[in-house]
Amino acid sequence: MKLNAKRGSLAKFEQDKVIISLYRPFAKRWLFFDRILNERVYQWPKISGRSIAVTEFTSEKPFMVLMTDEIADKHLVGAGASCQCFPVSHLKDTALAQFRQYYSNDSITKDDLFHYIYAVLHHPEYRVRYAANLKRELPRIPFAPGFTTFVTAGRELARLHVEYESLEPWPLQFVEDKHVPYSERVTKMKFSPDRQSLRINESLTLVGIPAEVFEYRLGSRSALEWVIDQYQIKGESDPNREDDPGYIVRLVGQVVRVSMATVQIVKSLPSYR
């Protein structure tokens, strides 16, 4: 910043630089996106549409993949876990040609290939078989049997992971303490010892969290645990929304639904060998 100041390159406030970003899984933050105030903007100014974020092979966290249509934080799953994003617009024609030739199908599109890749990267067999490779290089994509099945699965996973805020929340039971005025305001949420319920505040507890929810993990936490970690008051940072007081409670239900659907889709994927 000092060097920019000496050069006369000064940061200026412009409203269109204030954008939504994906700070952590299923946790968005406002970002002032500026080449001077952000140390590295990479190629984000040139990227539009959806991107697949994966942990880099230098990461200290387990491999993860998550699609987003926002600018993603470099450390999407926390410190010690740098991520790299690959937008559909950057798929090369040569890659598409290889897949068309292998499957003898010239109707395959880059959008198809993009969602095929997303499904493959979720496959448990893939992650086990290539665990050592994923620790020293970016993912390599195999030719799996059932291309269309993987495309369909990847497209549904993408819908769930990108459009999660529009989903109908999982039907959790709202248990209220009638001795306390009802509120959906969050200070710090807390699981019960069996993790089947979540205390929102002293007036409200959500009950009926399925055990399968915790099978959908991103890095070292489940998706729901990321929400609980990020949506709490920390110092002067308050995640509660005055214009939408029920956002966090609704988000909990939506991420439960995302997790349940993701686990089901991943378990139904055919063998890629």
Give domain limits for the chain: 1-90, 91-162, 169-266
- Average pLDDT over the chain reads 93
Helix, strand, or coil (residue 205): strand
Which residue carries 């697949």 as its tokens?
A: 52
**In terms of Cα–Cα distance, which of 152, 246, 241, 266 is closest to 200?**
246
Whole-angstrom distance, CA of residue 10 vs CA of residue 19: 20
> Is 213 a residue whose pLDDT tops 80?
yes
Whole-angstrom distance, CA of residue 75 vs CA of residue 55: 9
272 near 123, Cβ under 8 Å? Answer: yes
Confidence at residue 90, expressed as pLDDT on a 0 to 100 scale = 87
Question: Phi/psi at 177 (nearest 5 deg)?
Answer: -95, 105
Q: In Å, how far are 33, 93, 115, 224, 252 from 90, measured between CA atoms?
A: 22, 9, 14, 31, 33
- Which tens digit of pLDDT belongs to each residue from 24-53? 999 999 999 988 888 777 777 777 789 999
Which amino acid, 200?
I
- pTM attached to this predicted model: 0.93
- Which tens digit of pLDDT belongs to each residue from 91-140? 999 999 999 999 999 999 999 999 999 999 999 999 999 888 888 888 99
> Is 273 a residue whose pLDDT tops 80?
no
Other C-beta atoms lying within 10 Å of the C-beta of residue 128: 8
**In terms of Cα–Cα distance, which of 161, 115, 122, 118 is closest to 268?**
122
Other C-beta atoms lying within 10 Å of the C-beta of residue 183: 15
Whole-angstrom distance, CA of residue 161 vs CA of residue 25: 9
Burial class of 171 by CB neighbour count within 10 A (0 to 12, 13 to 18, 19+): exposed
Which residue carries 């399968």 as its tokens?
A: 212
Which carries the bigger pLDDT value, residue 141 or residue 1? Answer: 141
182 near 176, Cβ under 8 Å? Answer: yes
In eight-state DSSP terms, residue 45 is G
- Which tens digit of pLDDT belongs to each residue from 219-270? 999 999 999 999 999 999 999 999 999 999 999 999 999 999 999 999 999 9
**In terms of Cα–Cα distance, which of 1, 51, 63, 56 is closest to 21?**
51
- Which tens digit of pLDDT belongs to each residue from 5-30? 888 888 889 998 999 999 999 999 99
Alpha helical stretches, state H, 82-180 = 93-103, 110-122, 124-129, 131-134, 147-162
Burial class of 10 by CB neighbour count within 10 A (0 to 12, 13 to 18, 19+): exposed
> Is 216 a residue whose pLDDT tops 80?
yes
